[in-house]
């Protein structure tokens, strides 16, 4: 199958590309830089130059493909509105290009904000609608295309897709700990984060392409919920730092932008995902990764 992947050179995308190629697919990746293009070519990927603002390239890639996997996101925390606008425009463009084809369209989403007071499940619809909502309401926008002949599948990732070299949320929290000289956790540290290893997330993407029905919500979640104080304790062990609670009123000043997310309850389950596509996570746990040095200075610079 010819598969067009946005975010193909990214943290999750580059691992997903390996899985897709191993499954015999021909992959075209959207590349915004010379470095990204070179990395993709080295993997055996056909390169289409462009970025999330280049809707003409995104449209061309989708039209030429037999399936689209949309993983790119600007993640510009200094200007969330810009990221939201770009994400919604990209999803609209891909959906329009695939109308009436019944071709698979898998898109990245998340488990954040789906529920309160309990872990999120695949049965929970996204509460986010419209251009101004998180991710521009892209999951619901993409599902609107199911009735128009698009095989939409949502890939809901845990808040941490971890592994050696991860520069995401856990990498940022570890960097704050090193900078502050203390591994902090918000409040009493009982709020929980779901987690998944990068390799397991990549395998789920390939399985979702092969097996998930239109309208499916897949949860890339290996661990339902790890208390934030346990995450902080592991980071403290990894860097030889003291571990301490950070009062809620001090969280923004201590953690910066990541404090909002580190304070959230982001637990989720993946029972139905495992049953639906036969996915079973086998990668290291988040704490195992931290203890093994995945977030050491050397790992983060590699």
Fold of 2-159+196-221: Rossmann fold (3.40.50)
- The tens digit of pLDDT for each residue in 268-288 reads 999 999 999 999 999 999 999
Q: What is the pTM of this model?
A: 0.95
The residues, ordered by sequence, that sit 6+ positions from 181 with a Cβ below 8 Å of its Cβ are: 241, 242
What b-and-e string marks burial along 238-260, b requiring 16 or more CB atoms within 10 Å of the CB?
A: bbebebeebeeeebeebbeebbe
Q: What is the pLDDT of residue 77?
A: 67
Taking the C-alpha atoms of residue 166 and residue 168, their distance in angstroms, rounded to an integer, is: 6
Q: Which residue intervals of the chain bear CATH 3.40.50.720?
A: 2-159+196-221
Tokens representing 63 are: 């039209």
Give the mean pLDDT per block of 10 residues along the chain (302 residues). Answer: 97 97 98 95 96 96 98 81 92 98 97 94 95 88 98 98 94 97 98 98 98 98 98 97 98 96 97 98 98 78 52
**Which of these, 228, 259, 226, 261, lies nearest to 244 by C-alpha position?**
228
Quick check: helix, strand or coil at residue 216? strand
**Which of these, 15, 27, 69, 5, lies nearest to 200 by C-alpha position?**
15
Q: Which residue intervals of the chain bear CATH 3.90.25?
A: 162-195+224-268+283-301
CATH 3.90.25 fits 162-195+224-268+283-301, yes or no: yes
Tell me the pLDDT of the chain averaged across its residues: 95
- The tens digit of pLDDT for each residue in 4-41 reads 999 999 999 999 999 999 999 999 999 999 999 999 99
Q: What is the pLDDT of residue 78?
A: 74
Q: What is the pLDDT of residue 298?
A: 54
**Which of these, 166, 211, 210, 152, lies nearest to 12 by C-alpha position?**
166
Q: What is the pLDDT of residue 136?
A: 79
Virtual CA dihedral for 136, 27, 2, 13, nearest 10 degrees? -30
Tokens representing 261 are: 């997310």
Quick check: helix, strand or coil at residue 99? coil
Do residues 7 and 13 make contact, with C-beta atoms less than 8 angstroms apart?
Answer: yes
Q: What is the pLDDT of residue 97?
A: 98
């Amino acid at each position: 199958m010819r598969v067009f992947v946005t975010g193909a050179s990214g943290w999750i995308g580059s691992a997903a590309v390996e899985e897709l190629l191993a499954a015999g697919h021909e992959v075209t990746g959207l590349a915004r830089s010379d470095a990204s293009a070179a990395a993709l070519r080295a993997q055996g990927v056909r390169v289409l130059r462009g970025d999330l603002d280049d809707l003409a390239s995104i449209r061309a890639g989708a039209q030429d493909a037999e399936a689209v996997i949309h993983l790119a996101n600007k993640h510009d925390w200094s200007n969330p509105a810009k990221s939201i606008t770009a994400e919604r425009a990209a999803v609209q463009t891909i959906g329009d290009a695939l109308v009436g084809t019944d071709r698979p369209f898998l898109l990245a989403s998340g488990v954040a904000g789906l529920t309160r007071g309990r872990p999120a499940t695949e049965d929970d619809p996204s509460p986010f609608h419209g251009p101004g909502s998180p991710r521009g309401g892209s999951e619901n926008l993409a599902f609107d295309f199911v009735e128009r002949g698009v095989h939409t599948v949502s890939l809901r990732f845990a808040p941490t897709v971890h592994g050696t070299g991860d520069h995401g949320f856990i990498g940022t929290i570890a960097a704050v700990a090193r900078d502050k000289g203390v591994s902090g956790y918000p409040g009493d540290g009982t709020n929980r984060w779901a987690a998944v290893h990068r390799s397991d997330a990549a395998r789920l993407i390939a399985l979702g392409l092969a097996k998930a029905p239109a309208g499916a919500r897949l949860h890339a979640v290996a661990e339902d919920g790890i208390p934030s104080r346990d995450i902080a304790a592991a980071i403290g062990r990894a860097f030889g730092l003291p571990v301490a609670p950070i009062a809620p009123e001090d969280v923004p000043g201590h953690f910066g932008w990541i404090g909002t997310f580190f304070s959230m309850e982001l637990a989720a389950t993946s029972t139905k995902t495992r049953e639906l596509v036969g996915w079973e996570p086998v990668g290291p746990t988040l704490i195992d990764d931290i203890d093994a040095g995945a977030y050491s200075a050397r790992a983060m610079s590699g």
